[in-house]
Every structure is written in structure tokens, then in C-alpha cells.
Amino acid sequence: MDYSQDPPRILSNYLVHAPKPFNAEPHLPLLVNAGLITPTDVFFKRNHGPIPDIQLEDHQVYIGVQSHGQSDAGVEWKALSMNDIMTRWPKATITASLQCAGNRREGLAQLKEVKGVIWKAGTISNAVWSGPRLCDILKDIAGVPQDLHNEMIRNYHVSFEADDHVKEDACYGSSIPLRKAMDPLGDVILAYEMNGQPLTRDHGFPLRVIVPGYIGARSVKFLQKILVQPQESTSFFQRRDYKILPPWIDSSNVDTAWDTTVSLGEMNVQCVICTPMEKEVILCPKPVTVKGYAISGGGRAIYRVELSVDGGKTWEPVDKIEQTPDKISGMYWAWALWEKKVPKILTTSEIVVRAYDSSGNMQPEFPIWNYRGVMNNAWFRVNNVIQM
């Protein structure tokens, strides 16, 4: 793999886990202090291969429909230029957070061996994305019916393929249920802008999918192919990755479990303390403002965030939670930022946070180990804050 054409990045913003492919999470205090909208050069970066060098004028997106029993070779592809994508349909703007399913994998790696990048808690960011709605394009180009009760919409999937090179498969790919793509309140878009600017190469230039409310893996970057089909994508990343394998599955028997374990879609409820950090030095006797983020999947709102400074014996609600629903759909695709002023933190205090979402889901007290180390949303704990 050739990484010589990778773009420059502001490395000081990140904890870099791997340079090739470039995998980096922003430092937690920077992430929360940057505000509700994460600047692009702070946004986490998760790649499986080199960043492709694509020219806007040359890029084409191919769209096809595969019916039951039809071979891949039988699919009739229709090509769209980037100019078509940018001019033929209304431009929608969605504020949505992306979170990697592997966020906080570190907490599971501490229990038992896991496979994957050992992410801490910064593998999440929030941005404003713009581009056409996938439901409009699928209706016009692929003839997908808009009636959500239609049998095809209930049973089919939309697969995405990227124009990149990865070691696991021919390219990066993934899929979502067709019903998510066609749901007018699902807000799935093909984004060519991030935070008001053309997408940067790291984040998928010239075009990426944004699947709000879902794990980041479904928001395919460098988008090249869209296929409506009766089954999930056959990509490695849909079938052999991003699943919560049962607890008796490890490296010795993992190949027995992939086909019987469902693929991940919606995120679970998550909440993290970004500042102070573990072992951070704080000047006393000043009160400390504890700050962090919270999010849930499927557009569910954050309903309550509770903080404890005694390891979870007693709890109080945080002082402030900032979260805005989408202006049109009313869905909560963007994270909540919260804060709480705490009069005193002792070196012996364990600070703990937990959130509830609008369906009443609450984070589990302890991490739930799984071999791929995904979806860790246990109560987040900070210890050993040092008073000077």
C-alpha cells in the first residue's frame, strides 16, 4: 500500500494510534472545548487504507438495483457525475455526530485480548454535512418506491462501495437497510460538504455517505458505487467486522460466529468525561468544571446525564446539557455537550458519569467484553486527578 499521497494533518491535535493507515482521535479536552461543531482539523480520522487521490471532474458514482437471484454481472449501472450530484437534487444540511463502533475499545482490551485499534474515548466528533438526500436519488435513478410499506423497502438493503484500497477486501464497503435510506426522517445524505467547505480528502473527498444515528462504519467515504439489493453488503466490513460477538467467541473460534451474529446499525447510549482527564493536575481549591459529551443512536435524545464524585455511591444531574434536534426531522443526530461545576475534587475521588436516552436506556455499570471490542458504553470513570 502506498501512503505517500496522504494529506497533511495537524498532528498536535491528535493521539495518533497508527500513521498508515492514518487512525487518530483528538485529545479529549480539545474535543469538548472546540464546541458543539468539531472543526475539521480536530475531527477524528479513521481509515483502513491510503487516502485516494480523486479528481472532482473525473469522479463518477454508479447506481444499480439487483433483484432476487440476479447475478452481479446482470446489474445495469447508471453513472452520475459530481456535477449531477451537486445540482440535480435539493441540498440538505444535517448536523450529525459520527462515532466509531470501536470508541473506548481500550476499556474492553483491559479485560481480555481484543482485535482492533485500541481507541480511547475520542473516536467521535460532530459536524455539519451537506448534500442531496439518498432517498431522492434512489427514487429518481433506481426507481425505488417511496411507500415505506412496500415489500422491497422492508426487505432490501443499500450497499456502498468506496474508491479506495484496503487490505481486508477489494475496497471499503458497507450497507444499511433500504428502509433507513428511504425514510424521509432518516436523513441519510450523500455529503460533498463538511462544515461549509468541500469535504477534505481525509473525510471522504469528493463524496461520502452520512448515515446519522448509525455507527461510523456505515458512513462510507470516497463513495463510488450504490447498489440496492436483497441482502446486506457482502463486504468484509459488513460481514466479518462491526458485530458484537458473543462472550464465548475469541480468536480461536471467531470464524464460527460471523454468519450468526447480526451487523451493527444504530449506536447505543454513550457518555464520556472529556475534562478533567485521568491523572490531570488541577489547581486547588478552585471548583472544577467537569465537561463531556453524550449521544444515543437512532435519533434518540439524551434525556439525563448524572455525575458522581464518589465512585458511583451518590449522583447528581449535571448543570447543563446542550443538544439540538434536526430542524426538519426533529431527530437528535448530534451529540449533547454537558457540564457540571463541582466544588471540590479530592485525589481519591472517582468521578463517574452515566446518561439516559429518551427511550430510558441507561449505560451499563461495567464494560461488556466482546472479541472485536465494539460498542463499549460502560459508565465512564476518571481517577487520580491530582490536586496541586
Measured from the CB atom, the residue of 162 and 182 that comes closer to ligand MTE is: 162
Q: How far apart are CB 206 and ligand MTE at their closest, in Å?
A: 12
Regarding 264 and contact with Mo ion (CB under 5 A), the answer is no
Q: Which residue in the block uniquely carries the three cell numbers 464497503?
A: 173
Specify whether the CB–CB gap between 347 and 384 falls below 8 A: yes
Q: Is 46 in the site for ligand MTE (CB under 6 A)?
A: yes
Task: Give the CA angle between residues 108, 109, 114 to the nearest 5°.
Answer: 100
We find the least distance from the C-beta atom of residue 214 to ligand MTE, in angstroms, to be 10
Question: Does residue 217 touch ligand MTE according to CB under 6 A?
Answer: yes
Q: Give residue 154's Cα distance to chain centre.
A: 24
The DSSP result for 266-332, as a single string, is B---EEEEEESPTT-EE-TTS-EEEEEEEE-STTPPEEEEEEESSTTSS-EE-SEEE----TTT---
Position 238 contacts ligand MTE (CB under 6 A): no
Distances from the Cα of 279 to the Cαs of 103, 123, 282, 285, 350, in angstroms?
A: 21, 20, 9, 17, 11
265 touches Mo ion (CB under 5 A): no
Is the CB of 157 or the CB of 221 nearer to Mo ion?
Answer: 221
Nearer to Mo ion, 31 or 100 (CB): 100
Does the protein bind ligand MTE through residue 85 (CB under 6 A)?
Answer: no
Residue with smaller CB distance to Mo ion, 124 or 353: 124
Dihedral of alpha carbons 23, 27, 28, 32, sign:
negative
DSSP 258: G
Residue 77 grid coordinates: 449501472
- In the list Mo ion, ligand MTE, none, the entry touching 221 (Cβ below 5 to 8 angstroms by class) is ligand MTE
* Residue 94 CB, nearest approach to Mo ion (Å): 19
Chosen from Mo ion, ligand MTE, none, partner binding at 222 (C-beta under 5 to 8 Å by type) = ligand MTE
CB of 19 to Mo ion, least distance (A): 17
Q: Report if residue 100 touches Mo ion, rule: CB under 5 A.
A: yes
| In the chain, alpha helices (H) | 28-33, 82-87, 105-109, 134-142, 151-155, 178-182, 236-239
Which residue lies nearer to ligand MTE by CB, 137 or 220?
220
Distance CA 309, CA 282 (A): 15
Q: Does 92 bind ligand MTE (CB under 6 A)?
A: no
**Cβ of residue 112: shortest distance to ligand MTE, in angstroms?**
22
Instruction: Tell whether residue 48 is a contact of ligand MTE (CB under 6 A).
Output: yes
Cα gap 315→307, rounded to integer Å: 5
Q: Figure out which of the listed residues 59, 221, 243, 354 binds ligand MTE, where binding follows CB under 6 A.
A: 221
Q: Which listed option, ligand MTE, Mo ion, none, makes contact with residue 120 (CB within 5 to 8 Å by class)? A: none
Closer CB to ligand MTE, residue 125 or residue 275?
Answer: 125
Query: Which amino acid, one-letter code, is at 52?
Result: P
d(CA 216, CA 208): 12
| Binding track over 44-83 against Mo ion, x by CB under 5 A | --x-------------------------------------
Residue 89 or 160 with smaller CB distance to ligand MTE: 160
> Omega into 8 within 30° of 0, i.e. cis?
no
Amino acid found at 291? K
Distance CA 275, CA 343 (A): 15
- Whose Cβ is closer to ligand MTE: residue 54's or residue 305's? 54
**309: which 3 cell numbers?**
464524585
What b/e string do you get for 143-161 counting C-beta neighbours within 10 Å, with b at 16 or more? Answer: ebeeeeeeebbeebbbbbb
Report the interface residues with ligand MTE, using CB under 6 A: 43-48, 98, 100, 162, 164, 172, 203, 216-217, 219-222
Report the interface residues with Mo ion, using CB under 5 A: 46, 100, 216-217
